[in-house]
Chain A
């Protein structure tokens, strides 16, 4: 191949590399090299014809209905993929970045309630690992009415117990003054029975108060106070601030 042939073919190649059209190639037909070189002329003609043939191929068009079908299937696939990623993140216990604050707060509230039930049901007093300040605050809020109720019951029980003791102690002291013990009859000390009619009937409410007193330990051993005592200083401060707000 002569240098002029090489130069022409290089030129042709450049035309083909760009936005080649038959018209752009036809311009080369007037190149002076072609008046002397039949091979290069034949090559140019073939390339022009090939351009025409390639240009005759119909443009493939994606039907809108197919596009919609693909989009719909991809939406489903994306939902599946999103769910997978959320589950992966849930396993790693990291909150998803795009969850709204409201959703997170709702989740924290629900989790707090479940934690509270769990603690109260099982008398579990240690602070579960991973409880956030927000969760503790929610726990505190959920716990408050129960704490108030527990203190009220304890106070009422104490008052009822005192009343009951006073009620029972008064007639017994009077009866003791009248009772006689026959020491001469041996070691068996016989206390003369008190006539039922001489003792006032015991009030059911008073008995109930005694039941309460029997459970006094439970009432005073407040899980909540124990729990609060075991909290880290930061969380306790958060709770204090929350309770003051409340």
Chain B
């Protein structure tokens, strides 16, 4: 077994749970569910059903219990699950959107309404600040980034994750991550140009 990451609290909990300590899993969820939620919220802002996605992330952890090996920090391993799941969800949402357009605007409005209702279930106070124009614009600009750029930027900026770990999450190289972050910032600067001028003023 690779002993490099045995000091990582998440790895310790995961190994304890694998060894039969059932309470370790609850502690894993309590410790990391907030981070998973934050990452999903930033990656898929306004997306309905994030609660189900958090649950699905940990269901995948459950399924991986027997074959888990600590080859990275626990959060790195967990974020890789989140990334894969979020990308799948984005693609599914895209397919749903195409289907909904086919059904006409009335059905689309109904779908949007249901999505809003579903999201209201888990709306936290921070979500309600969405009315702030700048916040909405920044979120929209982030959401328009290609998936890998978006995840690289979020992990680098908000989770302060080293590029080497981000590379593990994305299944990429450190050099590629550096390039992804660079291009993501470039894209954001372009899309948010009016807000940047305002910020400077």
Contact = CB atoms under 8 A, between A and B. Distances in A.
Interface of A: 13, 16-17, 19-20, 45-50, 52-54, 56-63, 66-67, 69-71, 73-75, 77-78, 81, 98
Interface string B20-53: 1010011001100110011001100000000100
A57 B138 contact: yes
B55 A74 contact: yes
A47 B185 contact: yes
A71 B196 contact: no
Of A45, A46, A75, most buried by chain B (CB within 10 Å of CB) is A46
Contact of A77 (B54, B59, B135, B158): B59
Nearest to A67: B33
Nearest to B39: A60
A17 B33 CA distance: 26
A13 B28 CA distance: 34
B195 interface: yes
**Dominant SS at the B interface?**
helix
B188 interface: yes
Given A47-B185, A50-B189, A74 B138 contact: no
Given A47-B185, A62-B54, 11 more contacts: A45-B200, A49-B195, A49-B199, A53-B196, A59-B38, A59-B126, A60-B124, A62-B34, A71-B33, A74-B62, A78-B22
A49 B124 contact: no
For the complex of A and B, 4 pairs with smallest distance between CB atoms: A58-B126, A60-B41, A49-B199, A62-B37
A137 B182 CA distance: 73
Chain A contact residues, majority secondary structure: helix
Contacts of B51: 66, 69-70
Contacts of B125: 61
A233 to B, nearest CB: 37
Contact of B199 (A52, A59, A74): A52
B178 interface: yes
Contact of B62 (A52, A59, A60, A77): A77
Nearest to B162: A17
B29 A56 contact: no
Contacts of A54: 138, 157-158
A67 B30 CA distance: 7
A84 to B, nearest CB: 11
A69 B50 CA distance: 13
A63 B125 CA distance: 9
A20 B161 CA distance: 12
A16 B185 contact: yes
13 contacts: A13-B182, A17-B163, A53-B196, A54-B138, A60-B41, A61-B37, A61-B124, A62-B124, A67-B29, A67-B33, A69-B51, A70-B29, A71-B33
A58 B129 contact: yes
Nearest to B190: A46
